[in-house]
Amino acid sequence: MRLSVLDQSPISEGMTGAQALHNTIELARLAERLGYHRYWVSEHHGTPMLAGPSPEALVGPIASATEHIRVGSGGVMLPHYSPFKVAESFSLLSGLFPGRVDLGIGRAAGTDPLTTHALQRDRRTGMPDDFPAQLAELLAYLEGRLTPDHPFARLPAVLPGLPERPEPWLLGSSPQSAIWAGETGLPYSFADFINPQGAAIAALYRQKFVDSERLAAPRTAVCVWTICADTDEEAMELASSSRMAMSMMRQGRLIAVPPVEKALRYLESRGGGSGASGRRAVLGSPATVKAGLEQVLAEYQAEEAMVVTITYDHQARMRSYELVAEAFGLSAAPRPAGAVAQVVH
C-alpha cells in the first residue's frame, strides 16, 4: 500500500495566494522526508480558497525543491486545453525530472459557469463535449501513436523532453470516467472526497480494464479527505474550517478558509456543531485515521491512498501529514544511487 498527497494549495483568511503557494512547496519537501510516494497538485479556477490554477506551472518548482518523490497534476482539466500543448508541457517536465512526473487528467469544467466561460478561448459558443477524442489525441502524442497520414504525425517526435515521458492517469468521480480509464488501460484515481459512494465505480473500472502497453493490470488510487490530530476532538474542530467554506460555496459564496473559532460559531448557528459533513471525511487521532483510511482502501480494493487535507493553520496541516505518516510507519525512500538534486535556475 502506498500513501500520497493531493495538495489543493488552500488560502486561509488573511493569507495571500503567494503565501499559499510557498506553503505548497514547504509541504512537498515535508512529504518527501516523511516517505509519501507522490505529490499531486490540483487545478481550480476563480476561487479565493485555492491558489492552484496551473498544475503545469507548479509541478516544476515542486520537483526542483525535492529529489525523488513523484510529482504531478491531480489533475489537468483537459477540456480547457489543446492536447498538444498539454503533451508539450508535461514532456518538458519529464525531460527535466526523468522518472518522476505524473500527468493526472480530468474533465471538470471549473468553479462556476462564469469562470468556465472566462477560461474559453472562443466565447462565441460552449465548449464541445469531446473529452474521449481529446484524451486519445493526448495519449497519441505522448506515445508516438499518430498514424503516418495524420496531419499532426510529425509532432510526437519533437516533444521537448524525449525520450522521457510522464505517466498518465485518469481522474474521476463517476462511472463514465471509470469506463474510459478501463477501456484505455490507464491507472485510475478516484475522488472519494467528492463522491464517497465510489467502490462500485472502482469495481466497474476493473471490470472494463483492457491490458495494454500502458498498464498490464488495473491500478487504483483513492483520494480521501483526511485530517489527523493528536485527538479525535481536535481533528473534528480543525475540520470545521473547510466545512464552513464548503457550506458557503454551496450557497454561491466563495470565501478563503476561515479560522476554527469563526467556523465553529458559523456551524453552531446553523445547528451543525463540529461534526462530520455529508461527504466522507476521515478525521481523528492517528489510530482513528489509520483505521479509516484502511477501510476506504479495502472498499475500493485500491493500492494507494491520496490524502487531501485543508486546515486554516498551515502548521496543523503539516502536522496532520506527519501523524498520518507515523501511523502507517512510513519512512523516506532511499535516494537512488548517484541521484543528484535537480534544480532549475
Q: Is the pLDDT of residue 116 over 90?
A: no
Lowest-confidence pick of 16-25, 250-259, 266-275: 266-275
Lowest-confidence pick of 163-177, 229-243, 269-283: 269-283
Mean pLDDT of the chain: 92
- Structural domains of the chain ordered from first start: 2-117+129-227+300-327 (3.20.20.30)
pLDDT of residue 109: 67
pLDDT of residue 338: 43
Place of cell 483513492: 222
What average pLDDT does this structure show over 203-220? 95
User: 198 near 192, Cβ under 8 Å?
Assistant: yes
Tell me the pLDDT tens digit for each residue of 262-321: 999 999 998 865 444 556 899 999 999 999 999 999 999 999 999 999 999 999 999 999
pLDDT of residue 335: 54
Tell me the pLDDT tens digit for each residue of 41-70: 999 999 999 999 999 999 999 999 999 999
Report d(CA 186, CA 178) in Å as an integer: 10
User: 96 near 60, Cβ under 8 Å?
Assistant: yes
Place of cell 495571500: 16
What average pLDDT does this structure show over 113-128? 81
Distance (Å) of CA 252 to CA 49, 163, 165, 208, 218: 13, 46, 40, 37, 38
Report d(CA 9, CA 59) in Å as an integer: 12
pLDDT of residue 263: 97
Secondary structure class of 46 (helix, strand, coil): coil
DSSP 8-state class, residue 158: G
Q: Of 30, 8, 33, 40, which Cα lies nearest the Cα of 221? A: 40
Q: Of 200, 195, 173, which Cα lies nearest the Cα of 280? A: 195
What average pLDDT does this structure show over 15-36? 98
- The answer for residues whose C-beta is within 8 angstroms of residue 317's C-beta and 6 or more apart is 10, 23, 27, 309, 310, 311
Q: Of 9, 15, 23, 168, which Cα lies nearest the Cα of 83? A: 168
Q: How far is CA 153 from the centre of its chain?
A: 31
